[in-house]
Structure 1
Amino acid sequence: MAAVDSPRARARPFWGDTRFVLGLVLIAASIAGVWLVVTAARQTAPVLAAARTIVPGEVIGAGDLRPVEVALGASEGAYLAPDTLPEGAVAIRTIQEGELVPSGALGTADDARVTTIVIDTAVDVPAAVAAGSRVELWFAPPAEDQRTFAEPRILVADATVVSVAREEEVIGSAGAGLELVIPRADVAAALAAVADGSALSVVPVSGAAS
């Protein structure tokens, strides 16, 4: 009588097992996924960063920017690439030195709706106030006796500093000279305060980055 093969003898090789093949596929897919993530993270693209602090209303030229290589992934299109700076582009918000330039931070002169004025403050300004700082402009009108001043009030609620010349830089001055970016709507009031001899001062906006 012929011998009957046992179940163990008839077992298929393990590489023919569906579960084994599926496990290999999953491992390969996992390795490929990790490789793609690492490769994407290493890919960089050239974008433009501010070479100095740029304030609202300033016309931006090529010399104000520098190219840098960064990994942005899906955010790449949100920033200005080299050779794409529009002619006559104007900053519509402050762009800090070293910051990548968002496409949305640029506009035209009409978009800016701001202008610059120069003022002298009655007292020196805080050390934290520098180019790019957001400040409030306060004024105290002369009193009727012309020897004292009325209670200070806010003149411009949101101004941006372009430059500061502090006391040691302004001979004979007890305060400082500042160039400020202010909304065009506030220009008349600011010039009137300068003309009537109001005491002017600036206060950093709480929580604003300088």
Structure 2
Amino acid sequence: METRRSTGEELPKPAARRLQRPSWNDSRLVAGVLLVLVATIGGAAALRHYDSSIEVLQATRPLVPGQQLHDSDLRPVKVRIDRASSTYLGADEALPKGEVLREVRTGELVPRSAVGSGAAVHSKAVAVPVDSGQVATLVKGSVVDLWVSRKKTGETGRDAYDAPDRLLQRAVVARVPSAGGGFSVASDSGAVHVLVPDENIAEVLGAINQGAKVDLVPAAGSPLKGS
């Protein structure tokens, strides 16, 4: 068999190619950067398009029937709720004229239906003298049941009272006395102001004026001081 003899000549070696840094002249690099930019811009546009959140107003303190709204009572918050703009007061709108028609607790969104003409408020704030110990836990917006113990008639000497009778259920506290205020029937500066429906005002005032003992019992779930 014939074999090839070495001639002493070396076979050609392939030349090594140096890796080059990509430059802006590289069309592939430019195309990749453009694709990233397009994806980023498109994603941001899609998020803006599908972001249904709007700013509405939230109560920063309890709102009670009969009071007027002020900027300090409210703050804007972003929400994602169907038909929120038609249901709640918008943050980009002027505050509506009128008065609060129903209780709105701290942190709740303010419904448009909760503000309107004062003629629609059918309750009045009545000064109720109570023991100072009862006031310690009450705040504006507390919800209470009003109980009275009427004086017994015909009794001599020491005052005697009938069994307690509940006159009001789930009444809203409109104002509580400041620290150090008194609690006398003669002066309402230290009394708790409770919103009483118009049809019950005469009965509540009659009990107070006749010297009945009045107790305000917080209802279940009522806002209280420190809670």
For normalisation by structure 2, the TM-score amounts to 0.64
CA distance in structure 2 between the aligned counterparts of 1:73 and 1:41, rounded to whole angstroms: 13
Instruction: Determine the structure 2 residue equivalent to 1:178.
Output: 192
CA distance in structure 2 between the aligned counterparts of 1:201 and 1:138, rounded to whole angstroms: 5
**1:57 to 2:69 alignment:** no
Aligned length: 172
CA distance in structure 2 between the aligned counterparts of 1:178 and 1:126, rounded to whole angstroms: 8
Going from structure 1 to structure 2, the CA distance change for 1:180 and 1:186 (only over 3 Å counts) comes to same
Whichever structure has more helix as a proportion of its residues is: 1
Going from structure 1 to structure 2, the CA distance change for 1:79 and 1:149 (only over 3 Å counts) comes to same
CA distance in structure 2 between the aligned counterparts of 1:197 and 1:125, rounded to whole angstroms: 18
Superposition RMSD on alpha carbons, in Å? 2.8
Deviation at 1:114, TM superposition (A): 0.9
Instruction: Determine the structure 2 residue equivalent to 1:169.
Output: 180
Q: Deviations over 1:4-41 (max 9, x none)?
A: xxxxxxxxxxxxxxxxxxxxxxxxxxxx9xx96x5566
Which ranges of structure 2 fall in alignment gaps of 5 or more residues?
1-41, 185-189
**1:118 to 2:127 alignment:** yes
Which ranges of structure 1 fall in alignment gaps of 5 or more residues?
1-31
Deviation at 1:69, TM superposition (A): 3.3
Code of the aligned partner of 1:64? D
Deviation at 1:172, TM superposition (A): 7.7
Three-state SS of the structure 1 residue aligned to 2:133 is coil
For normalisation by structure 1, the TM-score amounts to 0.69
Deviation at 1:84, TM superposition (A): 4.0
Q: Deviations over 1:93-128 (max 9, x none)?
A: 111223221112122212121110111114621754
Going from structure 1 to structure 2, the CA distance change for 1:171 and 1:107 (only over 3 Å counts) comes to closer
Instruction: Determine the structure 2 residue equivalent to 1:9.
Output: none
Q: Is the 8 A contact 1:122 1:199 kept in 2?
A: no
Going from structure 1 to structure 2, the CA distance change for 1:96 and 1:148 (only over 3 Å counts) comes to same
